[in-house]
Amino acid sequence: MIKNICCIGAGYVGGPTMAIIAQKCPNIKVTVVDLNEERIAAWNDADVSNIPIYEPGLSEIVAESRGRNLFFSTEVDKAIDEAEMIFISVNTPTKTYGVGKGMAADLKYIELCARQIARVAKTNKIVVEKSTLPVRTASAIKDILDHTGNGVKFQILSNPEFLAEGTAVEDLLAPDRVLIGGDSSNEGQQAVQLLVDVYSNWVPKDKILTTNVWSSELSKLTANAFLAQRVSSINAMSELCEKTGADVNEVAKAIGMDSRIGSKFLKSSVGFGGSCFQKDILNLVYIAQSYGLNEVADYWEQVIIMNDHQKRRFAKNIIKTLYNTVSGKKIAFLGWAFKKDTNDTRESAAIYVADYLLSEQAKISVYDPKVNEKQILFDLDYLESRNESDNKSGVSVLENPYKVCENAHAIAVLTEWDEFKTYDWQKIYDSMLKPAFIFDGRNLLNKEKLEKIGFVYQSIGS
Ligand code: NAD
Ligand code: UGA
């Protein structure tokens, strides 16, 4: 039985996943390590509401186990040395340089972890790929680990994570499945069994699926590609709905009732965001290209092309509707996070819509219940198309949504936060310039109610 787990990477996956393992396996000591001192300090903050990741229910779970069998630390070597099982949960962003730039996954953080484990380990270890990785990455990790020459034996498992942000706790507590890929050798199967035993503390056995390593690695990219494809598919129909008088919500409901299609992931929107869909599909496209499978690559790339089109289309429509110019006009953004119930803004559609409108000299005022000004300016400054001083003068971030909408020409809803539905919309209308426009990028608000107040309301796909 495993008694000591280390997880390298205290991010959106490492933090919540290990918090649940620690909660459900009180006999296992779980240490989450990261190079980022600020992040670790936040995980250790005496006030547990200051942990660095906002997820409903997470701070309570961390409070329960932290200091008992859950630890956050920057002492990576020590944690590796002590652990029998090491999860690698570091980031695998899209490469921004060299071969595969803009497509392939950058595996330098993974390789650094492997080299660090190889250098530090004095006893046999099971190394678990938790990060999302290109198929066959395990063989590169194994190569590095097997050349230490110090006699330590390593088993590499693939155990991709399927949680979605905003629902991480419920996804981890009751996963649709846990996937574990391992080597077919006796030692490989023993390692698989040890990880199965960890999850069996709370996940029913029939939901723990074991496969070979390559199937497990590729299943993760495939799952994200299929999910993103559904969003792009319904978004493609949203444009056709707008031209034909059909309503995309009605279409989604009608097709979702077909049990072969299913009702989930059919919400038309301003476009999907998040740290993974785009990154993982680009990676899939790159892998297919590298095997010479051009039709396969082109097929999946279209999911990204459609998503980029949807974000651009939303911004262009705002400009067209506001009499073909937004120069000097105030546009209020409700929401900046890539979806509700998270403070994560990576690849959020809001960033790209803002970029487009700012380049047309709009003034943008933003309110998001969980994202602060520093993060919003950081997201914009990061874009090659923008510079810091223009962002500072073009964007204001306020903690009061009513102030954000005051004297605005239009409101753009970019995130589906529940609280937006509860606002005093009459009060907001009264404070805006007329005609007062709402561009609802999430089909969140009540059209009839808003039109009755006097708003010009536009949703996606109707
Ligand atoms: P993240 O950026 O939030 O966290 C990664 C952490 O790893 C960072 O805090 C970073 O400082 C740390 N790190 C990097 N190199 C390190 C090293 N050598 N030693 C110690 N720490 C190091 O990333 P994330 O969102 O948690 O994603 C991690 C992986 O999980 C990615 O491969 C991602 O594709 C995958 N994934 C993410 C989600 C999600 O919802 N975010 C869901 C499923 C899978
Ligand atoms: C997604 C997957 O759902 C997870 O299973 C996976 O583990 C994770 O990626 C990952 O690998 O990182 P996440 O990106 O956190 O999770 O959130 P989703 O709920 O999938 O939403 C992604 C984006 O699609 C959001 O911008 C969301 O608003 C958008 N979306 C989702 C839609 O526009 N319409 C929908 O019907 C569903």
Can you say how many angstroms the Cα of residue 303 is from the centroid of all Cα atoms in its chain? 17
Residue 227 Cβ contacting ligand 2 at under 6 Å: yes
Lowest mean pLDDT among 6-15, 142-151, 291-300, 403-412: 142-151
Residues in the chain: 462
List, for residues 260-313, the tens digit of each pLDDT value.
999 999 999 999 999 999 999 999 999 999 999 999 999 999 999 999 999 999
Q: Which residue spans within 193-282 are E strands per DSSP? A: 208-211
Model confidence at 352, pLDDT cuts 50, 70, 90, reads very high
Q: Does position 105 have pLDDT exceeding 80, yes or no?
A: yes
Name the closest ligand to CA 229. Answer: 2
pLDDT beyond 80 at 149: no
Q: Decide if pLDDT at 116 tops 80.
A: yes
User: 421 is written with which tokens?
Assistant: 């539905």
* Pocket lining: 129 vs ligand 2, CB cutoff 6 Å: no
Closest ligand relative to 310 C-alpha? 2
* pLDDT for position 291: 97
Q: Which residues of 414-449 are buried (b: 16+ CB within 10 A; e: fewer)?
A: bbbbeebeeeebeebbeebeeebbbbbbbbbbeeee
Does residue 149 or residue 219 have the better pLDDT? 219
Residue 148 has what pLDDT?
A: 80
Helix (H, G, I), strand (E, B) or coil at 36: coil
pLDDT in tens, 422-441: 999 999 999 999 999 999 99
Q: Any bridge partners for residue 178, and if so which?
A: 208
Q: How far is the CA of 5 from the centre of ligand 1 (A)?
A: 17
CA 10 / ligand 1 centre spacing (Å): 7
Q: What is the pLDDT of residues 309-328, one digit of tens each?
A: 999 999 999 999 999 999 99
Please, which pLDDT band fits residue 152 given cuts at 50, 70 and 90? very high
Gap from CA of 401 to ligand 1 centroid (Å) = 32
CA 189–ligand 1 middle distance (angstroms): 27
Contact predicate 249/268, CB 8 Å? yes
pLDDT digits (tens, 9 = 90+) for 388-431: 999 999 999 999 999 999 999 999 999 999 999 999 999 999 99
Nearest CA to ligand 1 atom 38: 13
- Pick from 272, 284, 368 the residue to mutate for probing ligand 2's pocket: most ligand atoms within 8 Å of its CB: 272
Q: Is 461 in the pocket of ligand 2 (CB under 6 A)?
A: no
Judge whether residue 362 has pLDDT over 80: yes
Q: What tokens appear for 160 in the block?
A: 């991709």
Question: What pLDDT score does 215 carry?
Answer: 97
Q: Atom 10 (ligand 2): residue with closest C-alpha?
A: 276
Instruction: Name the token pair of 155.
Output: 């088993």
Residues with CB under 6 A from ligand 1: 8-14, 33-36, 39, 76, 89-92, 109, 112-113, 131-132, 161, 163, 165, 275-276
User: What was the pLDDT predicted at 147?
Assistant: 87
With a 6 Å cutoff on the Cβ, whether 414 touches ligand 2 is no
Q: Is the pLDDT of residue 31 over 80?
A: yes
The average pLDDT across 186-200 equals 98
Residue 150's pLDDT band (boundaries 50, 70, 90)?
Answer: confident
Ligand of minimum distance to the alpha carbon of 79: 1
392 C-alpha vs ligand 1 centroid, how far in Å?
A: 29
Q: Among residues 462, 461, 409, which one has the least CA distance to residue 438?
A: 409
The residue whose CA has the least distance to atom 3 of ligand 2 is: 164
Condensed to tens digits (0 to 9), the pLDDT of residues 210-246 reads 999 999 999 999 999 999 999 999 999 999 999 999 9
**Residues 69-94: tens digit of each pLDDT:** 999 999 999 999 999 999 999 999 99
Beta carbon of 222 within 6 Å of any ligand 2 atom: no
Strands 410-413 and 330-334, bridge-based pairing: parallel
Q: Which atom of ligand 2 is nearest to the CA of 168?
A: 15
Kindly list the distances between the CA atom of residue 89 and the CA atoms of 16, 120, 131, 133, 197, in Å, as whole numbers in the listed order.
11, 18, 5, 10, 20
Q: What is the mean pLDDT of the chain?
A: 97
105: CA distance to ligand 1 center in Å? Answer: 13
Q: In what order do the strands lie in the sheet with 410-413?
A: 395-397, 363-367, 330-334, 410-413, 437-440, 456-459
- Residue 288 pLDDT: 98
Q: Specify burial of residue 143 (Cβ count, 10 A radius: 0-12, 13-18, 19+).
A: exposed
**By alpha-carbon position, which residue is closest to atom 30 of ligand 2?**
272
Mean pLDDT value across residues 6-14: 98
Catalytic residues: 161, 220, 276
**Cβ atoms 118, 111 nearer than 8 A:** no
